Amino acid sequence: MTTVKGTLKYVVDDPVTTHDKNTLKDSDIWNVVPNRVVLISCYTQDPWGKNVVVTASPPLVPVIIRLGSVSLPRALY
């Protein structure tokens, strides 16, 4: 994703899902998740009955934590 401040990298979460249009409003995709991108579109094989939903999140970023003279890698979101 490109913004005025630069480019942000995202990784598509697995799996890409479909939701019935009737139940989409009650789906957990509406839960706020920091830095998550949600793309909702018509499902071309059933444009009046289903939506395809793609979610993406920033990739895991390795962080080094130093404990005295020992370095341990840790992944953060």
- 26-56 pLDDT, tens digit per residue, is 999 999 999 999 999 999 999 999 999 999 9
pLDDT of the residue at 70 = 52
φ, ψ for residue 29 (rounded to 5)? -65, -15
Better-predicted residue by pLDDT, 5 or 64: 5
Nearest CA to 19 out of 44, 52, 45 is that of: 52
Task: Give the pLDDT confidence of 60-76 residue by residue, as tens digits.
Answer: 877 666 666 555 555 54
SS (H, E, C) the chain: CEECCEECCCEECCCCEEEECCCHHHCHHHCCCCCCEEEEEECCCCCCCEEEEEEEECCCEEEEEEECCEEEEEEEC
> Domain coordinates of the chain in residue numbers?
2-76
